[in-house]
Chain A
Amino acid sequence: MSTQTELATAPGWTGAEQVEVLTFELNGELFALHAVGVQEIMDLTPETVVPGAGAFAGAVINFRGKVIPLADLRVAFGLERNAPTIDSRIVVIEIELSGEPTLVGLRTDKVHEVTTLARADSEAPPSVGMRWRPEFIQCLVKRDGEFIVVPDLQTIFNQQQDARQPVTSATRH
């Protein structure tokens, strides 16, 4: 399990020339996660709002008898949060929080495929000209004329854990 965590969240390509990823869509943008860290892709399930928790992880769900937080990367990237559609899925991954492996659900608008990305196609996030915080992005990968964003989940989660924003009124769905 720990090796998976490492692969799912470690910066860079961990030495490999190619890496398997799961691609998904958030508000029209294409994102990718290292496939080995993915536990399950599940349909939307009834979620329980946690009052007082930030918008980033504002709810919990029942995942196979465990209560896991449901996180929304759109909050971290400042994307508009659309209402869920028939394509919406939850991607359950394992990441490390305060040294403990933790299961977390990620909201996605649509899950695409498991595919292979090559290191040669990747580039570091530009330091200027981007509306997203560069430290939240591990790298950008160019493919078929568009960019796939590989988010740095560990940094995002650590940051959200440290600075939890107060709940803002009913923007949640």
Chain B
Amino acid sequence: MSDEAIAVFQVEARENLELIEQGLLDLLDRPEDRDLVDAVFRGLHTLKGSGSMFGFDALAAFTHHCETAFDRVRKGEVAATTDLVSAVLAARDHMRQLMEDPSGDYGAAGDLLLADLERAVQEADGAGPPAVVTPGLTTWRIKFDLPANAFKNGANPLALLAELREMGEARVVADASRVPPLSQIEPTDHYLAWDVTLTTDQDRATIEDVFIFVIDDMNLSIEALDEARLGASPVQAAAVAEPVEPAPAKVAAPVAAPVAVQAAAAVANDPVEASGAKTAKAVESVRVPADRLDELMDRVGELVIAQSRLTQISNSGTDTALRAVSEEIERLSGELRDTMMVLRMVPVATLFGRFRRLVHDLARETGKAIDLSTDGETTEIDKTVIERLADPLVHLIRNAADHGLETAEDRAAAGKPATGRIRLSAHQSGGEVVITIRDDGRGIDRERVRAKAESQGLIEPGAVLSDHDLLQMIFHPGFSTAAAVTNLSGRGVGMDVVKRTIEALRGSIDIASRPGEGSEVSLRIPLTLAIIDGLLVRVGQGRYVIPLGAVEECLELSLDEDLRSRGRSFISLRNSLVPYLRLREMFETGTPPELHQKVVVVSTGTERIGLVVDQIIGDHQTVIKSMSKLHAGLPTFSGATILGDGGVALILDVGHLVAKGQQQEAQMREAI
């Protein structure tokens, strides 16, 4: 088996396992949902089949046991209890291990999981809805034929027949009427049809399941034979004649109703009808390596630049035909760029989906009842951003479950519902996505935060702090209020790491909390790392981009004011003094100051400074290019971008400049 084929199998198996997990988690909320049960079962079945096909025997064997156990749920013999679903979830994790590392030795772990599963099934057996009424022996007449290309698609009629035979006594008659003369036979084509008379205690759904993988392309009819036509033994007659009481709670079609499913072309074309419970058609997708997208992005960037040069040329001439073409190309390349941006975006649902499992596990670990609700899953963010958000969010959710939510008794004492709620939501706001994690727990204990901060020497004992500043203390490195280290959080990875990660994504983090009512952490993340909205400015000969999100306002700095402020470098802005940096001096441009310099006031949250520039050119949406390692040590610049005329502008790192400004301010104060 080629490595490539195995890699493809693993990719598909990963997706399949993901779907199984989602299905199981949904099942926790809606244990009665037959479609979900079927979907999970199909997933297990596929995994088993493809696993054994690709030589993942341990996986196939283990999955087979799970499938068998789960089959009882599917048949409605046992209910999908929380314990049972949790056991299957744990088993799913084991399958993942077996899939990722088929050579590993997990024998004992697997047996334990299966034992758990078995126990859960047994317990559920008692609690389950009335078992499906098995109608005794029924005789079915099954006619099916497969399309000519069935072999190419991997169908094996013999295996289908063997599966039917396993169900009971079967009489198989091959219908060779479609076989052409020898000279016209295509050896790879399939020509036969079958007529099977099967006496079994299985129901129609089980028989249909034999054909689950081929049903879309085939003709299938399954009829229960009645007494007259069969001329059968009394036992069978009785079985068929006996009216079956459909259990009121059953959602599945009454088993005994002998409606002939004429699954001829019309019906077979409708997959929902034919296979009973196929999920809605998935959106078609193509897998593309991310670096190819990056490459495409570069090309599009170059195209946009070349196009803007073309526009300049066409505008300087009088050739109207050229101008028309140029405008057309301008529009097209703009659209191409927009499309390109969208390609990299993925909905946050992929991220949120992972947390359902996390919360499920957290609830079991802490013994708290936790309900996770999500909102705004369709909000889209750049793929790279999504991946880097996962860890911080895991940490925040763990914090909420572990520190935020109280135990059921405490909640009851506080007059809250026993189930703690964690709400995860996302929405787009301008060029940012805001993700909030809210819990309805006890809120942040200000006194403990203060005590901890004081004991750590972060603040002076008795220092007067605003509530906001006090809460900010939890982002300080090494700060952790949990008295005891638990398995969940408080393992040294603190909120400061979360904050750093978010800031590395050019985002910001904010926390709000009301004692007794809960906390809310909101993350503001730029839509993409590849593009920023910037203010293009000129300093001397050089052009620079200031991220627009950091810009508060722009003012004029008259020459007089500039001269007057020499030596102190403060401007007064609505009664507060704002320090400023003369970029011209900082960058040593060697040019004289312009007559009408501008001050761009930038801020990072609370701190702000002014940047004196020679000219404000305008706002500019830029594709960020990273600087080479040769310039990696320069903190002033966070990257570079290519302008419309093909020139390069450097992007200023506002955080660094603000820190520098504050430093300067501190020096000034000392001097005074």
Contact = CB atoms under 8 A, between A and B. Distances in A.
B631 A57 contact: yes
Interface in A128-173: 157, 160-161, 164, 167, 169-170
B647 interface: yes
Nearest 7 CB-CB pairs, A to B? A51-B587, A65-B302, A97-B629, A48-B648, A67-B640, A67-B625, A69-B630
A65 B636 contact: no
A27 to B, nearest CB: 22
A8 interface: no
A151 to B, nearest CB: 16
Which of A57, A65, A104, A167 has the largest count of B CB atoms less than 10 A from its CB? A65
Interface string A50-68: 1111000100111011111
Contacts, number: 92
A160 B633 CA distance: 12
Which of B298, B302, B626, B648 has the largest count of A CB atoms less than 10 A from its CB? B648
Contacts of A45: 646
B628 interface: yes
Given A60-B640, A62-B646, A167-B588, A53 B629 contact: no
A49 interface: yes
A69 B586 contact: no
B586 A51 contact: yes
A162 to B, nearest CB: 9
Nearest to A56: B630
B631 A53 contact: yes
B298 A53 contact: no
Q: Chain B interface: which size bin? A: 20 to 34
A65 B626 CA distance: 12
A102 interface: yes
Interface in B299-332: 299, 301-302, 305
10 contacts: A51-B542, A62-B647, A65-B301, A67-B641, A67-B648, A69-B628, A104-B628, A104-B630, A161-B630, A167-B588
Interface of A: 45-53, 57, 60-62, 64-69, 71, 97-98, 100, 102-104, 157, 160-161, 164, 167, 169-170
Interface of B: 298-299, 301-302, 305, 541-543, 586-590, 625-634, 636-637, 640-642, 645-650
Given A46-B647, A48-B640, A65-B642, A169 B629 contact: no
A50 B646 contact: no
A73 to B, nearest CB: 14
Contacts of B636: 51-52
A66 B625 contact: yes
B276 to A, nearest CB: 53
Contacts of A170: 588, 590
A165 to B, nearest CB: 12
A98 to B, nearest CB: 5
Nearest to B590: A170
A98 B298 contact: no
B590 A169 contact: yes
Contacts of B626: 67
B541 to A, nearest CB: 8
A51 B590 CA distance: 12
Contacts of A164: 633
Contact of A50 (B299, B302, B631, B641): B631
A57 B590 CA distance: 19
Contacts of A100: 629
Given A51-B586, A57-B631, A100-B629, 20 more contacts: A48-B543, A48-B647, A50-B631, A52-B634, A52-B636, A57-B630, A60-B640, A60-B650, A61-B648, A65-B302, A65-B642, A66-B625, A67-B625, A69-B631, A97-B628, A98-B629, A102-B629, A161-B629, A161-B630, A170-B588
B298 to A, nearest CB: 5
Nearest to A64: B302
A109 B645 CA distance: 26
A47 B587 CA distance: 16
Nearest to B633: A164
